[in-house]
Every structure is written in structure tokens, then in C-alpha cells.
């Protein structure tokens, strides 16, 4: 087999502080690997700008002009980490033999990318990057992540422990991934469903060099909740179970209250009554809410909305003026950028 074409997909959301380091590091790595004859010269780093509000896209765009290894993809708006990643994977697959996804903050050790490629050459279709330890993460992040994995396990979702979205996928694995049509794509859960031969490579996770986490608590919680509800119906079963338990529980209580009445002690308080009303009311609301959550998911799925829309695919600029979804979107600003270089 001749050297494989590798594409490294990097989703970026407001990463202007981090990007200069990321570009240098990844470029250096690609250079080295090409020199060592590990990968093809046609290998690329594909930066996906997920509708950033800062200068992320400008920086990416300039790099595509300066550097033959850099390709830029600008999404029409912010669609979130997972969808940005998908945009990158599906765009990259046509021109690569294997694709690696990594976060822009390079918290994941890029040194193991060589190991990924070695495993790919050995015949693995999917290689997971797994963190050895998470000492550099805050205690909070570490423990919430821990709870998340435990919960997913209880819910019966098969996740690779301590693996985030740092992985290599072969072209055919990404092609198969494209056949998963769900809108709520939770990659860590879906990728193991593809099958093929897989393996893991271990590394130490580092600190974010610059910029801040794009996953504040709110996003983290919604990510975890989405992860659970797109993969498991255990929560609904649990609600049903609680509902049944409280129903039978209240039957026992009713018998007890009845017996109190029959045996003369009728000083039954208002408290017990009001408590049970609140209790049952609460349970019902939880149940309805959860069912609603799943119905919402179904609603989203049946619409089959596109997961992302590509605005600009900056590729081999300026040798070939890249195509945009519509010519209008290839705005004056980008032309000016191109000319200024």
C-alpha cells in the first residue's frame, strides 16, 4: 500500500487564541510524517469553523492560502461540536484514506497520531484515543465526566471509557457512519455501533493552552442529557417504574388511612393530603416531561433537517477558486482577504 492520505479534522468555535499554536503544531506533525514517508503529501488539516463570532475563520482562511496542507470549511452557523465534526468527517472522506478528529485546543496529545496511523496500516478501521489520566482537568470536570460514563453504563450505552472525540476512522468507516441518519448524532455512542476491527491508543491529556473551554456547565449538561436520551430508553422505563411504585405505595397508604378512619381515629391531617398531592403531581410532571423529551427527539428525527450547512470550502486557494454554496456567500470580505495575501 502506498502512503495513506490522512486528513486531520479540527472543529473550531471561537478559537482565535488557540489557532496559531494549533496550526503550527499540526503543520509540523504533517510535515514530519510526510518526510518520514508515513503519509501521503496530499494529507490535509481540515479546520471546520463552527460559526465562530471572532476571527477564527479569517485565520483559517489565511492559512489555506499560505499552506498547501490546510483546508478550511466554514459552516453557515454554529451547529455544535458534534455536527461540526460530522461536517469535517464527511467532507474529508472523499479525499482521504483515513481521518483523525481532534479538538482545536490540542488537549489530546498529537504525538499519538503517528501511532493511530500505524494502527490503521495494520488494518484497524477505527482507532480510539483513550486518556490515561485526567489530572490536568479540573476536579469538577473530572468528576462530572466520571458520573457521565457511569450513568451511560447503567443506561446500557456502550462507550469507550475515557475516550472523547480523538480518534482515527478509515474512509470506509466514515462512509458507514454517513448511513446513520439520526439527527441527534452522539458520535461516541454511534461509532462503536459501526463495528469493524477497532483498537485503542493511550495518551495523557494536557491542559488547554489558550482560550477558554467552549463547554460551560450548561452545554455539558445538555450534552450528557442528549447522550443519554438519544441512546437509551432506560429513563422512561425508570419513570414507569417509579410511577408504578408510587401507585402501589399510595394504595398501602390509602388502606392505612382507611383503617385509621374505621378504628375511630379520624383526626387525619391536611398535611398528609397535601403532601401526597404534591408528590404525585411532581411524579406526573417528571414522567410527562421525560416522555416529552423523547417525543421531542422523535420530532427532530422525522424532520430530517440537515445537520450542518457548508458556507465555504476553502481548498487549494488560490490555485482554484473554491466553490461556495452560492456565489453570493463568497463575499467581498473573503475576496479582499485573498487579495491582501
Interface positions with ligand UDP (CB under 6 A): 11-13, 15, 50, 78, 80-81, 84, 103-105, 107, 213-215
Cell of 219: 452545554
Nearest 5°: the CA angle 170, 7, 96 is 55
64's enclosing H/E stretch is helix 56-66
**Residue 50 binding target from Mg ion, ligand UDP, none, CB below 5 to 8 Å by type:** ligand UDP
Closer residue to ligand UDP (CB): 81 or 334:
81
Q: What track of x and - describes contact with Mg ion for positions 247 through 276 (by CB under 5 A)? A: ------------------------------
Q: Which of residues 279-298 bind Mg ion (CB under 5 A)?
A: none
Q: Of residues 78-137, which lie at the interface with Mg ion (CB under 5 A)?
A: 103, 105, 107
CA distance 220 to 6: 30
C-alpha cell at 29: 506533525
Nearer to ligand UDP by C-beta: 3 or 101? 101
Q: How far apart are CA 318 and CA 60, in angstroms?
A: 14
DSSP state of 205: -
23 binds, among Mg ion, ligand UDP, none (CB under 5 to 8 A by kind): none
Q: Which is nearer to Mg ion, 50 or 103 (CB)?
A: 103
Distance in Å, CB of 158 to Mg ion, minimum: 24
61 vs 124, beta carbon nearer ligand UDP: 61
How many angstroms separate the CA atoms of 65 and 173, rounded? 30
Question: Of 67 and 136, which CB lies nearer to Mg ion in the complex structure?
Answer: 136
8: nearest Cα among 97, 100, 94, 105: 100
Phi, psi for residue 295 in degrees, rounded to 5: -65, -40
Query: Which parts of this chain interact with Mg ion (CB under 5 A)?
Result: 103, 105, 107
Amino acid at each position: 500500500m502506498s502512503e495513506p492520505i490522512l486528513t486531520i479534522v479540527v472543529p473550531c468555535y471561537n478559537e482565535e487564541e488557540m489557532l496559531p499554536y494549533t496550526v503550527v503544531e499540526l503543520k509540523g506533525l504533517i510535515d514530519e510524517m510526510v518526510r518520514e514517508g508515513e503519509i501521503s503529501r496530499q494529507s490535509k488539516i481540515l479546520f471546520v469553523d463552527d460559526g465562530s463570532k471572532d476571527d477564527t475563520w479569517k485565520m483559517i482562511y489565511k492559512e489555506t492560502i499560505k499552506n498547501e496542507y490546510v483546508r478550511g470549511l466554514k459552516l453557515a452557523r454554529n451547529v455544535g461540536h458534534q455536527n461540526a465534526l460530522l461536517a469535517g468527517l464527511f467532507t474529508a472522506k472523499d479525499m482521504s484514506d483515513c481521518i483523525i478528529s481532534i479538538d482545536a485546543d490540542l488537549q489530546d496529545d498529537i504525538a499519538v497520531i503517528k501511532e493511530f496511523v500505524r494502527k490503521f496500516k495494520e488494518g484497524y478501521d477505527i482507532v480510539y484515543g483513550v486518556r490515561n489520566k485526567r489530572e490536568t482537568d479540573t476536579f469538577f470536570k473530572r468528576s462530572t465526566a466520571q458520573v457521565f460514563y457511569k450513568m451511560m453504563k447503567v443506561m446500557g450505552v456502550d462507550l469507550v471509557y475515557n475516550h472523547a472525540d480523538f480518534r482515527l476512522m478509515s474512509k470506509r468507516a466514515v462512509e458507514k457512519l454517513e448511513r446513520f441518519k439520526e439527527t441527534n448524532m452522539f458520535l461516541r455512542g454511534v461509532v462503536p455501533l459501526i463495528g469493524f476491527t477497532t483498537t485503542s491508543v493511550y495518551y495523557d491529556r494536557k491542559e488547554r493552552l489558550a482560550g477558554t473551554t467552549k463547554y460551560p456547565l450548561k452545554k455539558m449538561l445538555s450534552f450528557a442529557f442528549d447522550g443519554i436520551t438519544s441512546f437509551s430508553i432506560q429513563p422512561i422505563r425508570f419513570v414507569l417504574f417509579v410511577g408504578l411504585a408510587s401507585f402501589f405505595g399510595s394504595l398501602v397508604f390509602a388502606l392505612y388511612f382507611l383503617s385509621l378512619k374505621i378504628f375511630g381515629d379520624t383526626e387525619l391531617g391536611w398535611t398528609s393530603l397535601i403532601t401526597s398531592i404534591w408528590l404525585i403531581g411532581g411524579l406526573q410532571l417528571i414522567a410527562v416531561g421525560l416522555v416529552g423529551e423523547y417525543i421531542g427527539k422523535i420530532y427532530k428525527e422525522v424532520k430530517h433537517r440537515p445537520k450542518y450547512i457548508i458556507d465555504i470550502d476553502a481548498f487549494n486557494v488560490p490555485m482554484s477558486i473554491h466553490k461556495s454554496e452560492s456565489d453570493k456567500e463568497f463575499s467581498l470580505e473573503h475576496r479582499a482577504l485573498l487579495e491582501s495575501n
